[in-house]
Chains A and B, each alone.
Chain A
Amino acid sequence: MQRTFHIFRLNKGWAVQREGLSAQIFPTQREAILAARQMVKADMIGQIAIHGREGEIRKVEFYGLPRVLTPPATSRSAKRILRAVSKLSLQRAQSGPLAP
């Protein structure tokens, strides 16, 4: 099972969802982040990817996993790569069922 919890805009709320599992919906992003932190801490290990309104990943938090460090030089294709990875990660996370 993947270790990443995704927080993303869904309808008028914010969802917390891990690939293959049900989503939980919260009224605000702040509440979704707090809930995701509790879920990761219960697992002892994981990471939280916080997506912006357009789906782009704007922040990642690490818990019990090595922090991914930014290399000194970036790729010329960096923006396109980040967009593609954000899109794929959201598609994969949203492949699970939504909470009733």
Chain B
Amino acid sequence: MSILPKSRHVYINCPFDQDYQPLFSAIVFGVSDLGFVVRCALESDDAGEIRLSKIQALIEQCRFGIHDLSRVTSDATTGLPRFNMPLELGLFLGCKRFGPPKQNRKHTLILDSEPFRYQQYISNIAGQDIKCHYDRPEDAIQHVRDWLRTASNDKSLPGGGEVVRHYRQFQIDLPGLCSDSALEPRQLTFSDLRMLVNAWVKAIR
């Protein structure tokens, strides 16, 4: 039996390293503040191995997918690029194309750090919704908001400026909240970050 995608679940396909953390936090915040549920491969066992079957199940459950290709660059040590993000993007597009009829309601947002950079390494995705965040968290929030507004057709979504304002306030409040919760801000697990964002949005925005 196939699983129907949940109408407000958003799969985030991105790197999980420290360097990417500001963009990741901003996307998690933006999606949650707009009333959607963030899903990602880290949610069941934050430190564990990410298995393909787990990623496939998450993709199947989510109607929306955000795929950040900005870190598809050559590794300084090996000289090889990281291909996890393009692989997961391919799985998402494949699920939409070849899955059961309900899966063709999937929507995809592709993010990159520079305009048209993708044409040098994955030119076949031309024609998809590709936006450039220039490694700026607030730009990423604005793109996520505009895309979700169009893709979900939900007219109640607040404007990008309001979500960015909430995000700035959350960033100010985060160290104190972590301290009161006995958590280390630089070592938050995905589950803790999502919980902090959800609780903050419900109580303070």
List chain A positions with a Cβ less than 8 A from chain B: 2-4, 47, 49, 57, 60, 64-78, 80-89, 92
Query: Known contacts A75-B191, A77-B183; is A82 also within 8 Å of B199 by CB?
Result: yes
Contact between chains at B156 and A78 (CB < 8 Å): no
Q: Is B91 an interface residue (CB 8 A)?
A: no
A74 and B191 form a contact (CB under 8 A) = yes
Task: Verify A60–B8 contact, CB threshold 8 A.
Answer: no
Tell whether B35 is near chain A: CB-to-CB under 8 Å: yes
Contact for A49 among B32, B34, B43, B202, CB less than 8 A: B202
Which B residues lie within 8 Å of A73 (CB)?
A: 43-44, 191
- Please state if B177 and A81 are interface contacts (CB–CB under 8 Å): yes
Question: 1/0 contact trace for B58-77 toward A, CB 8 Å?
Answer: 00000000000000000000
Q: Residues 36-56 of chain B: 1 if any A CB is under 8 Å from the residue's CB, otherwise 0?
A: 111100011000000000000
State A86–B25 Cα separation when bound (angstroms): 21
List, in ascending order, chain A residues with CB within 8 A of B33's CB.
Answer: 66
- Chain B residues with CB under 8 Å of A66's CB are 33-36, 154, 156-158
Total B residues in contact with A, Cβ cutoff 8 Å:
36
| Interface pairs A-B: 4 shortest CB-CB | A66-B35, A84-B180, A75-B195, A89-B203
Contact A77 B182, beta carbon cutoff 8 Å: yes
**Candidates A47, A57, A77; contact of B192 at CB < 8 Å:** A77
CA distance A81 to B182 in the complex (A): 9
Which residues of B sit under 8 angstroms from A4, Cβ to Cβ? 203-205
Nearest-neighbour CB distance to chain B for A15, whole angstroms, equals 16
Q: What residues of chain A lie closer than 8 Å to B201, measured between beta carbons?
A: 68
Contact B177 A75 (CB under 8 A): no
- Knowing A4-B204, A80-B182, the reply to whether A65 touches B158 (Cβ < 8 A) is yes
Please list the residues of chain B having a beta carbon within 8 angstroms of any beta carbon in chain A. Answer: 8, 32-39, 43-44, 154, 156-158, 173, 176-177, 180-183, 189, 191-192, 194-196, 198-205
A3 near B44 (CB under 8 angstroms)? Answer: no
Q: How far is the CB of B34 from chain A (nearest CB, A)?
A: 6
Are B177 and A3 closer than 8 Å at their CB atoms?
A: no
Decide if B37 touches A67 in the complex (CB within 8 Å).
Answer: no
Q: How far is the CB of B168 from chain A (nearest CB, A)?
A: 13
Q: List 24 A-B contacts (CB under 8 A).
A: A4-B203, A47-B205, A57-B202, A60-B203, A65-B35, A65-B158, A66-B156, A66-B157, A67-B35, A69-B8, A70-B37, A71-B43, A71-B195, A73-B44, A75-B189, A75-B192, A75-B195, A76-B191, A80-B180, A81-B195, A82-B199, A84-B180, A85-B199, A88-B180
Contacting residues, chain A, for B34 (C-beta < 8 A): 66
Contact B204 A85 (CB under 8 A): yes
Distance in Å: Cβ of B186 to nearest Cβ of chain A:
15
CB distance from B41 to the nearest CB of A (A): 12
Residues of A within 8 A of B157 (CB): 66
